[in-house]
Structures are given as C-alpha cells and as structure tokens.
Amino acid sequence: MTKSAHGAQPVSLAVPILEQHSSLETRSGGFVYQLARIPAPTGGVSLASFSLASALALAESQQLLLPGLAGFFVPLLLALGGFWLLPLLSKYLLQPRLLLNELAHPVLGSVLPTAAMAMMVAASWLVQLDTAVVQQAGVVLWSGAVALHAVLLIGFCGRQWRLFSLDRMVPSWFVPPIGIVVACVTAPAMGLELVAQPLFWFGLVAYGIKLPVMLYRLLFVERIPESALCTFAIMGAPASLLLAGYLSCFDTPNHLLVLLLAPIALSMTALVYLALIKLLQLPFSPGYAAFTFPLVIGATAQLLLSQWAQQNGMAELAELTAIAGLGELVVAAVMVLYVSGHYLSALIKFVCWRA
C-alpha cells in the first residue's frame, strides 16, 4: 500500500491474481461475472503474441530464420493473441463499469491500453488477407483501436491527475502516452502513415518528459512495492517502440534521431534483461505480462534498425543489429511462451476450482 503525499487514502498497487480478480462483486454461475475475473494485463500477453508473429515475419523477410519457421509459428501466435484478447474485450463490452473502475487504479488503469494496442497489431494482419471485406474491417478495427487508446489515455490521465504523487507512479505509466506509437508500427500495412506520424511525435515528447520524472521516482522516492514490481520490465518498451515506429512510419528517417534512439533502446532492453534475474523470482501474477511485449518490441526495433542500416550503406551496423535482433527475438519468444504457459495454467486451475 502507498499513500499519496497530499494525504489521500492509501492506494493498493497490487495486480490481483486471475482467480480473485474482479472490480465488482461476482456471483457464482454467471458467465458474465466470470469474465469479470479476467485481469487487465491479459491485454499485454495478447499484444506480445500478435507482435511476436510480426517480428518473426520480419526476421524471415530478412532471411534470418530457417525457411518455413515463421510460417509454422505465426498462425499459432495469432490464434494465441486472439484467445486472450477476445474474452478481455467481451468483459468490458458486457460490463462497462469494470472499465471505469479499473481505469482509476494506478496499475490496472495504465495497462488497459495494451488491449487497444493488440487490436492495432491484429488489424495489421487482417489487412494482409485477400478478401476486400476483411481488409476494410482491418482498417476500421485499426482506426477504432487508435481512438480507443486515445480515450483510455485521456481517461487514465484525468483520473490520476487529482490524486497524483510520485509514489503512485509505476513504469506502466509509460503505456498510455507512448503505447499509442504502436499505430506508427502498424500504419504502413494500412497505408495510413501520414495519419500516424503525429502520434510518433506525441509519443517522443511524452517520453522526453516522463523518462526523467520516472527515473527520479525510481531512484529517490519510495520503492515500488513487490506487488507492482513486475511493471519495471516496461522500462524496456518505450525507446524501442519509438525507434520501431519511427523506422516504420517515415520514408526518410533522420539519421541523428535514429542514432539517438537506438542506444537508448538497446540500453533499456539490457537493463530489463538484468532486472528479469530478480523479477522472475517473484510469485506468478498477471503482472508477468510486463515481461513479454518490451522484449518483443526490443527485438523488432533491432531488426528494423538492421534493415535501415543496410539500406543506408552501413553494412557493419546492419550485421551487428541483425545478430542482436535475432538474439533478442529468441529470448522474447521464450518469454512469451513462458508467460503464456503461466496464464494458461492459472486459467485451468480457475476453471477446475469453479467446477
């Protein structure tokens, strides 16, 4: 429990486990009420699954994988992403009050946009199908997901502003303002780069403002409680997401900006690798979702950087970043499968307990 510096009531930063989660009183036997138990961080697992499929496809296009390897795993990852995303969206559609309640929580509210981010990545796969109707549905889904993310961003900031104190901040607070840059990574599939480009600049400015504040909070303010410690892994995502979004959405990226973001992205990913040595010793909670997307987007950023370096005649940089990207991709894949296994195990235990 932490207490606001302004004398507000203590606020728990705990992320409830799957079996206990509900922002409303649940009643036995109701499907709608059982959906209420699905934790908000599930959106992060869905996002990581969809994004890992995209990263594998990117690596295969650069001939970094054995032929057919991506073709085997991509459908499985897309199915896994949908398996986690659809029940989560159903939860909020059937019980909108849950969304409002969780938006007020300093941890749950900050990870809610991961569902919208997952929808953007899913849409980028839909538009690659041959059916025109499905392609159009993908564009609509992407547009709706961007709008939903913006609404969640405004709602989260509005609810946290009144009770703001540094000890309420956790690294997942990067998700609402910078997670929207996923739109830049996925926009090329939609042909909507010009629409998404302002979102990159918004995310970049937000990162520039929030990073020093977050570092100050982590170094000099009350330690993040163990119940929310998993969110530290999210520190690895923003810089890599900005780099991936910039390289994806702009035809002629500025060399200086690329070479500024690249070492920050790599350093933050390395920091998360070191932190995982301790974080993986924590008991399982839905917060484990934080271990997935940051590693996937880190690998994606390195693969895109390799592609950019190759196109700009930087052969040595292209080779080094390709190796780094492939190594990060392997680690990310292992982590996504590991966390998904924990989630599935928790789900099976919950179902058996309910039975």
For residue 253, give both structure tokens.
Answer: 């990226």
What's the distance, CA 349 to chain centroid? 26
SS3 11: strand
Cβ neighbours, 10 Å, residue 63? 9
Mean pLDDT for the stretch of residues 46-71:
95
SS3 2: strand
Q: How far is CA 81 from CA 47, 71, 192, in A?
A: 7, 16, 24
Cβ 222 vs Cβ 281: under 8 Å: no
Cβ 187 vs Cβ 195: under 8 Å: yes
Cβ 238 vs Cβ 297: under 8 Å: no
pLDDT of residue 164: 87
Torsion on CA atoms 66, 71, 76, 80, rounded to nearest 10: 90
Instruction: Reply yes or no on whether the pLDDT at 141 is more than 50.
Output: yes
Enclosing H/E stretch for 5: none
At residue 351 the predicted structure's pLDDT band, cuts being 50, 70 and 90, is low
Mean pLDDT for the stretch of residues 1-17:
44
Q: Chain-wide mean pLDDT for the chain?
A: 90
At residue 354 the predicted structure's pLDDT band, cuts being 50, 70 and 90, is low
The H helix count followed by the E strand count for the chain is: 14, 0
Cβ-proximal residues to 237 (8 Å cutoff; 6+ apart), any chain: 174, 175, 178, 179, 268, 293, 294, 297, 298
Mean pLDDT for the stretch of residues 332-344:
96
Phi-psi map region of 313: left, alpha, beta (phi>0 left; psi -120 to 50 alpha): left
Radius of gyration of the CA atoms of the chain, in A? 19
For residue 144, give both structure tokens.
Answer: 């709706």
Residues pairing with 11 in the sheet: 2
Enclosing H/E stretch for 299: helix 293-311
Biggest CA pair distance of the chain: 63
At residue 350 the predicted structure's pLDDT band, cuts being 50, 70 and 90, is low
Mean pLDDT for the stretch of residues 326-353:
89
pLDDT of residue 130: 86
